[in-house]
Amino acid sequence: MEIMKNVFCIKAIDWDIENFHGYSTPFGTSYNAYLIKGEKNILIDTAKYYCEFDFFEKLQNLIGSEKIDFVISNHSEMDHSGLIEKVIERSDATLVCSPKGKENLEKHFHNKSWKIITVENGQILSLGNTTFQFFLTPMVHWPDSMCTYLIDKKILFSSDAFGQHFACTEFFADQVGSDIIFREARKYYANIVNPYGTAVRKVLEAIGNLDIEMILPAHGTIWRNMRDIKNIIEKYEAWASNRPGEKVLIVYETMWGSTRKMAEKCYVEAVKNNYNAEMFNLGVRDISDIVAEMPEARIVLFGSSILHGQILPKMAGLLTYLAGLRFEKRKAWTFGSYGWARLSFNGFETLVKEAGFEMPYSGFYVQFVPDERALQILGEQLNSKILTV
């Protein structure tokens, strides 16, 4: 697909992927490589190894008997570098990457004979009649990551930044629908990029002075509409600040329905207090869907039953995952039902605090099944400790 004169998107679509290193991807994803034709043929990134057929078929249709002269690797993670070795073997192309990218790719492919040009932050480089500027973007999403700006066309190849895991035949975000694509972009940011907010702010500063007419990410759809470009940059600024949102999230895992009753009481109280409240039952929802809502959360209420002296395993998995994602400035409270091991909730509260939440009060726990009185007390405590302060 020609995105702009002599700039093509080679979109290897991964229709089947349901889990991207722990992140649920019910809509699949795509690995977007880009070809710039000119005095030199320049490829930006490749695709995951098992998309070989799709990728090379599309590349071949675009270049015919010509060869690739340069491969720019914005990011060495294997979803984008998986076919670099095969591209270089076929065409003897020169690799262009960041110094960290060189280190990583040499350790991935163990091939020391490649011709490699490393680029520094802000460096301008002409390859044939095409001139690029490179911006190193460490930790967005790996230490090696960089963005590539095609100067004369004012387009930014942003690598993982501004991407979405969303498989579709359309190429542009505005063809799919902004609500869907912004929601998937938020899920992507929350699950992949959130720990690196400081790094994201540096990237935004670096590209802040660029005249950008199109953002071409390495996953999902392309941002070409100026309103969408402005919006997604503003969203990244807001997400990178780790500011809490306005929602109350009620996240629970239940054995026999008692913790569920408590979750429902929490929901009713939150709605009564005019919060936009959402419920997530970990028995049926993936942890990455809950993380997707975390940028919008002001308060998170975690509920679990106790099994073998521990909270339930999906809740423990969520809290471990959240500890790595480093959301900040959100308040939390806990609730749950137990049989005989009430003290096990001490560990629950510790995990919630270690996941970065502010939890000024101990939670509310009930033995076996909560009766009306217990639910009333739960509501009163929730109001006085969390919702109305």
Catalytic residues: 21, 75, 77, 79, 141, 160, 188, 219
218 in contact with ligand FEO (CB under 6 A)? yes
C-alpha distances (whole Å) from 358 to each of 75, 273, 332, 345, 362 are 35, 20, 6, 17, 11
C-alpha distances (whole Å) from 143 to each of 100, 138, 184, 283, 357 are 7, 4, 24, 35, 27
In whole angstroms, the minimum distance from the beta carbon of 77 to ligand FEO comes to 4
77 in contact with ligand FEO (CB under 6 A)? yes
Choose between 189 and 280: whose C-beta lies nearer to ligand FEO: 189
Tell me whether strands 146-150 and 130-136 are parallel, antiparallel or unpaired: antiparallel
User: What is the 8-class DSSP label of residue 151?
Assistant: G
Tokens 């098992």 sit on residue: 50
What pairs with residue 249 in β-bridges? 278, 300
173: helix, coil or strand?
Answer: helix
Choose between 23 and 357: whose C-beta lies nearer to ligand FEO: 23
In whole angstroms, the minimum distance from the beta carbon of 342 to ligand FEO comes to 42
Choose between 141 and 247: whose C-beta lies nearer to ligand FEO: 141
In whole angstroms, the minimum distance from the beta carbon of 292 to ligand FEO comes to 17
228 in contact with ligand FEO (CB under 6 A)? no
Judged by CB under 6 A, the number of residues near ligand FEO is 9
Q: Which two tokens stand for residue 121?
A: 């932050």
293 in contact with ligand FEO (CB under 6 A)? no
Q: Which two tokens stand for residue 135?
A: 């911006």
- Among 103, 106, 100, 93, smallest CA distance to 121 is for 100
C-alpha distances (whole Å) from 190 to each of 75, 193, 194, 301, 331 are 19, 6, 5, 18, 17
Contact in structure between 328 and 360 (CB atoms under 8 Å): no
48 in contact with ligand FEO (CB under 6 A)? no
In whole angstroms, the minimum distance from the beta carbon of 98 to ligand FEO comes to 14
Choose between 216 and 263: whose C-beta lies nearer to ligand FEO: 216
User: Which range in 72-80, 105-113, 226-234, 299-307 contacts ligand FEO by CB under 6 A?
Assistant: 72-80
- Among 341, 337, 335, smallest CA distance to 305 is for 337
Among 141, 186, 261, 330, binds ligand FEO (CB under 6 A): 141
In whole angstroms, the minimum distance from the beta carbon of 31 to ligand FEO comes to 7
219 in contact with ligand FEO (CB under 6 A)? yes
In whole angstroms, the minimum distance from the beta carbon of 298 to ligand FEO comes to 29
Choose between 144 and 293: whose C-beta lies nearer to ligand FEO: 144
75 in contact with ligand FEO (CB under 6 A)? yes
167 in contact with ligand FEO (CB under 6 A)? no
CB atoms within 10 A of CB 29: 25
Among 14, 45, 144, 160, binds ligand FEO (CB under 6 A): 160
79 in contact with ligand FEO (CB under 6 A)? yes
Choose between 148 and 258: whose C-beta lies nearer to ligand FEO: 148
DSSP 25-85: -TT-EEEEEEEE-SSS-EEE----GGGHHHHHHHHHHHHTT----EEE-S--SHHHHTTHH
> Which residues of the chain form contacts with ligand FEO (CB under 6 A)?
75, 77, 79-80, 141-142, 160, 218-219
